[in-house]
Structure 1
């Protein structure tokens, strides 16, 4: 019996692709615009570097002298402590706010939404100044037993809320509002079908959260949290208006005595660049860790 290939005409059979002629050279496409743009950028970078190195007004010798001075390092330590404390406390409170926003309880949902709206809508400096002057509204704080019981605790607000404590409270409440949206966005990025499948298998809520929700939510949370961490590090500089001895305020104290404003500001700038660079590297490796098992195209 004849096969379909036997009845086809000889001209219908597909000839193998011979491929490119080995004798034909392959020439890359010329892109003069790209080369011109690269040369222009390199020229501008060279001019900027030359200006930084040769301009005597930067006083690099003074920068090197104060870069690791005791006052600057003390301010740097306080800046790192403020960043870690406010971000850790902010994410704890922000997680509770995120759960409240996703709750079916209308009271929790409304209160969480109102808190996030207020703290995201007002400038951080205004919030810090408000908390710093909270003693004008509540001069004293007291704790007494209900129904006319004796007073257990009485203290003046000025004695309790110093500049550092005020900075921690103000920055924590601010970071919590942004952390709540980061956590909520990460949880919402997990497909609903996976949660339903886990419930159908009889998995408990804690196990579903630990093994299904969090590993996938962290893929969305880590990049945003890394940006928040870098922003919180730079945002601590506003506490200098409260006379908190952070990195910027320590630098200001020095140049108020020496009048070497530019080199001392460069000291603070270089430290912020170093710290944000280290945090960016850490964020990169965390993103790689939580992206394991994900295809390059972005699909899981």
Structure 2
């Protein structure tokens, strides 16, 4: 193999004149990936839980709303959704809001569009996990909550969801990992996350192997940290008698 390995290139100052190194570019991309993913995960949990509850209510209308949401966001390719949120949605907003968004710094536009798109896309998947967790519970739990005088909402809040969340920690771990990997698609609208920084590094240094090996290691580190954290959460929340319980 005639390729000339040069790992020292990562420590060289960037040729653009910025006060950083190529490794600094990768670290900034890693930070952007983590920031976008965590913000999107908050949206995914909140929105996904809301629609997951809707899909298990007795109301056909509410169930239908939840089903439509899941069908739309799960059946449109993620890359298309990124383009829609970045290019189309600002044009559909009220003029004042759309103009303010388009006049904001490019980095803010990229970050906001990426967080909203990734969050709502993942929310459709979280919705199904929450729905399956609630439906896995014995029917008597809902009836017991209502018999105690709880309203439908109180029954979900105090009886069903606390247990459902505990038993869906393993599948939620998978979705949490996926959101970090899916964030790479945000580079298509200009966000300088980890994979985009790697491609930029290749353009400036022509050291493709070093760049993408470093990115691979960075993604591996992120995923290992996430898995370790979620395993800790699972160990603290598992319930005897349920999946994963002792």
TM-score (norm 1): 0.68
Q: Answer yes or no: is the 8 Å Cα contact 2:239–2:245 preserved in 1.
A: no
Shift of 1:164: 2.0
SS in 2 for 1:233: helix
What's the counterpart of residue 77 of structure 2?
A: 123
Q: CA RMSD in A?
A: 3.1
Question: Whole-Å Cα distance in 2 between the matches of residues 203 and 126 of structure 1?
Answer: 43
Question: Whole-Å Cα distance in 2 between the matches of residues 207 and 108 of structure 1?
Answer: 17
Q: Which shifted more, 235-244 or 188-197?
A: 188-197
The yes-or-no answer on 1:59 pairing with 2:12 is no
Aligned length: 235
What's the counterpart of residue 209 of structure 2?
A: 262
The yes-or-no answer on 1:220 pairing with 2:159 is no
Question: Whole-Å Cα distance in 2 between the matches of residues 104 and 98 of structure 1?
Answer: 13
What's the counterpart of residue 84 of structure 1?
A: 38
What's the counterpart of residue 159 of structure 1?
A: 103
Gaps of 5+ in 1: 1-54, 144-152
In structure 2, relative to structure 1, the CA distance for the partners of 1:200 and 1:110 (3 Å cut) is closer
Aligned match for 2:218, one of 248, 271, 282: 271
The yes-or-no answer on 1:141 pairing with 2:90 is no
Question: Whole-Å Cα distance in 1 between the matches of residues 234 and 93 of structure 2?
Answer: 47
| Structural mapping, 1:132-211, within 5 Å | 132-134=86-88, 138=91, 141-142=94-95, 155=99, 158-159=102-103, 162-202=109-149, 208-211=155-158
Higher helix share: 2
Deviations 1:238-259 (A, max 9, x none): 1111111111111221211111
What's the counterpart of residue 238 of structure 2?
A: 291
Higher Cα Rg, which structure: 1
In structure 2, relative to structure 1, the CA distance for the partners of 1:288 and 1:99 (3 Å cut) is same
Question: Whole-Å Cα distance in 1 between the matches of residues 176 and 228 of structure 2?
Answer: 12
Deviations 1:19-42 (A, max 9, x none): xxxxxxxxxxxxxxxxxxxxxxxx
What's the counterpart of residue 185 of structure 2?
A: 238
Shift of 1:62: 4.1
Shift of 1:73: 1.3
In structure 2, relative to structure 1, the CA distance for the partners of 1:255 and 1:292 (3 Å cut) is same
In structure 2, relative to structure 1, the CA distance for the partners of 1:294 and 1:72 (3 Å cut) is same
Question: Whole-Å Cα distance in 1 between the matches of residues 142 and 110 of structure 2?
Answer: 46
In structure 2, relative to structure 1, the CA distance for the partners of 1:74 and 1:157 (3 Å cut) is closer
In structure 2, relative to structure 1, the CA distance for the partners of 1:124 and 1:72 (3 Å cut) is same
What's the counterpart of residue 69 of structure 1?
A: 23
Q: Answer yes or no: is the 8 Å Cα contact 1:94–1:183 preserved in 2.
A: yes
What's the counterpart of residue 4 of structure 1?
A: none
Higher relative contact order (CA 8 A, sep 6+): 2
SS in 2 for 1:104: coil
Question: Whole-Å Cα distance in 2 between the matches of residues 298 and 94 of structure 1?
Answer: 23
Question: Whole-Å Cα distance in 2 between the matches of residues 184 and 115 of structure 1?
Answer: 13
SS in 2 for 1:232: helix
What's the counterpart of residue 34 of structure 1?
A: none
Question: Whole-Å Cα distance in 1 between the matches of residues 84 and 93 of structure 2?
Answer: 16
Question: Whole-Å Cα distance in 1 between the matches of residues 115 and 177 of structure 2?
Answer: 17
